[in-house]
Amino acid sequence: MSARVDTSVVATGAGGLAVLCTATSFTGVLADLRWLLPATIVVALLGGIGIAGRKLNQHPVVVVLAQLVGLLLGLTALFTGSGVLGVLPGPAAIGELGAHLSGALEQVRAGVPPVPAEPALQCLLCLGVGLVAIAVDVIVVGMGAPAVAGLVLLCVFAVPASLAARLLPWWSFALGALGFALLLACGGQQRWQRREPGDRIAHTLFGRTTVGLASSAAVVALVSGVAFTGVGTEGRLPGSEADMAGGTSGIGLQPFTSLRGQLERDEVVELFRVRGLPEETYLRALTLRRFNPEQGWRLEGLTQGVPAGPDLPPPEGTPPPAEPPARVEIRPVGYRDPWLPVFGVPTGVTGMGPSWRYDPAAGVVFTQTNQESRPYTEELVLPDPSPEELRSATGSMPIAPEYLDASGIPPEVTALARRLTADADNDFDRAAAINRFFTDPANGFRYDLQTAPDTGISALSDFLFRGKRGFCEQYASSMAVLLRAVGVPSRVAIGFTAGYRDGDERVITTEDAHAWVEVYFPGHGWQTFDPTPLEDGRTALPGFLEADAGPAVPAPPPPPGQPQSQAPQPPTAGPAPEQPEQPDAPRREPESGGSGVAWVIALGALAVVLLAAPAAVRAARRHLRLRAATTGGAGAAWREVLDEFQDRGSTPGRGETARGMATALAERHGLDQDATRSLRELVTAVERQWYGPPEPDTAPDLSPAVSAVLAGIARSAPLTWRERLFPRSVLRPLRDG
């Protein structure tokens, strides 16, 4: 016969394993697994404290308090460098933990999943996992109700599910199902004695029932994952080749999916603070060169470039700067992305950390590693050619042929581009004419975060000829396509406008997320054009566009078969009065506290669940035992009567017989005659079942006797609200020897 094992230790281990299995769902919002080791350490530490406390026969409340202290010590040791003796949380360590947690909350609020598992997020995750592990330990081992722990584990899945735009990995559901199946197999104190043979425990945990339950759940999770993993687009790293649909079908900006998330936020989140910017200009994160009519603009052809550093080569075909570069300091606040935004033409970038690359052809700085964003300094040149210089720009164009690729553009769009540029004989005038087509109020285009309803026509044609409303994504995409249709090299740039002034800094927020167009001119490189008709003063037009108003470009009629535009037309009674120029348009200040309210609500909900859990466990046990009593389950009925007495502070001695217990309890609580008679009837049934020979006949229904006893106990010794909310039989369950 195998050695006996303490079943509470087994249940503790199963609870910790179930928590870690469920926590794998966070792989849906975190880009790496650096959080797994510290989370495992925290769960193991809390489980060990729970085991030690119960070995020393400490009160459950004392055990929980010890686990909370252990959680604080563990977080101090793992995530701070200022703890006393490495683990004791002094004031400096508490401040460090607070900074980690506030930084993590900011990342949760501003980041677009998947985000790197930086130390701040690891700290927050370990705190949450630790609290869940304590709750599961109390429910599984202290209350002996492993099924109830499933509610807490389900709440863990709800957190990453609410943050990720796509379905969580299917295997995380399978692991969660396996952990929960092990909890159910433990069965708390209802199935096992305090100590059981090791072979029986192994058979129970890994028997056919557990394997069948876990396998069924894994199959369901696998089928669900295969069927629904393709849902959602946000949260993918830029440039990934997975199926992504951005914007209006066919003209969306796919790689920088965080742009859409930033445009659609209900609150404004601060992203950057900038010092030294000589003039308002756009902050470019990346550029897109390939247009696919079915999938939109895509990031293809990005080279490995050169290491980003203090001396960056100029783009090919661009002359060296004629004046000293400007120096700008950029401090990321709520920005986390593998693209490092830059202004103008960078000549040097420093301070951002290792492993950053610069691609001169694309004009972007990027990394292929997950790392924390740091403040960085950029030295840059802001070219300012005149309209005449751009009109006369000729010569070779050392750019990739993809920047001129016009394949797949609908014929009606090509015809529109030719009509708009019919009077232009150079690339600058063609680009300016197409830009004015969108910004001239007479043509009915307007900026709107909601695009017009889809008509089933080509999305690009639908926007140009009918909808005529959308945000920068639609405008930049459409202008770049029109330019290529008439042979002008173009690309879409993604990034931010210059933000608003705050003292000697400029503040860039999620409200400044923007897309625009860049056009190539020989000898001058890529120049900025912005077709989006913004009305809030955020547009930073280059000097050559402000100096060249040009004639108005009327909107051509839609091609045959296209419905007329339903966009509102502006009044034509006369020119609009001039508005006084404002250096900075009024802006909404970044808001804070939205996520704090959500956390307060979440913690409040968790507190309510934990407070209600003991009473819920008690009610579930009563229901199951009364149902067993209807089929003659004398043992279940007797256990329910004993728990009712224990809820009122009466714990029968282990050596007493059932009849002796009944007599003592009836006298102590003053049961009336009906209740006493029903209690004796129940005791007779228990003795017959325990000590008598098996009866072939159907067992009698004991539920009337049990109900009469319970009613008598309630009459003679009613429970207080505290005894109802925290029943002693759940918090200090009887342990059968």
Q: Round to whole Å and give the CA distance between 340 and 324.
A: 23
Residues 459, 461, 465: CA angle, nearest 5 degrees = 125
What burial class does residue 365 get, using C-beta atoms within 10 Å of its C-beta: 0-12 exposed, 13-18 middle, 19+ buried? buried
Are both 464 and 541 inside the same structural domain?
Answer: yes
Residue 196, pLDDT score: 53
pLDDT in tens, 115-135: 778 888 899 999 999 999 999
Does residue 591 lie within any of the structural domains?
no
Q: Do both 349 and 468 map to the same domain?
A: yes
- Counting as low any pLDDT under 70, the low residues of the chain are 1-7, 106-107, 109-114, 162, 164-167, 187-267, 295, 301, 334, 370-371, 449-458, 535-537, 547-611, 652-655, 692-698, 732-737
**Same structural domain, 210 and 287:** no
Q: Which one of 228, 248, 283 terminates a domain?
A: 228
Q: What is the number of domains present in the chain?
A: 3
- Say yes or no: 212 and 263 in one domain: no
The tally of CA atoms less than 13 A away on the side-chain side of residue 251 is 28
* 314 and 389, same domain (yes or no): yes
**Is the same domain home to 412 and 276?**
yes
Looking at the fold, whether 288 and 166 belong to one and the same domain comes out as no
Regarding whether 649 and 529 lie in a shared domain, the answer is: no
What is residue 402's DSSP assignment?
G
The answer to whether position 91 is within a domain reads: yes
Does residue 19 sit within a domain? yes
Residue 649 maps to which CATH number? 1.20.120
Are 716 and 640 in the same domain? yes
Residue 516 inside a domain? The answer is yes
Question: Two tokens at 289?
Answer: 């060169």
Q: Say yes or no: 541 and 613 in one domain.
A: no
In-domain check, residue 375: yes
Pairing of strands 525-529, 345-350: unpaired
Q: Identify the CATH number of the domain in which residue 452 sits.
A: 3.10.620.30
Residue 248 falls inside a structural domain: no
Domain extent at residue 354: 258-546
Q: Answer yes or no: is 716 within a domain.
A: yes
Same domain for 283 and 392?
yes
Q: Are residues 93 and 142 in the same domain?
A: yes
Q: What is the pLDDT of residue 110?
A: 54
Strand partners, 88: 84
Which sign does the torsion angle of CA 432, 438, 441, 447 carry? Answer: negative
Specify if 558 maps to a domain: no
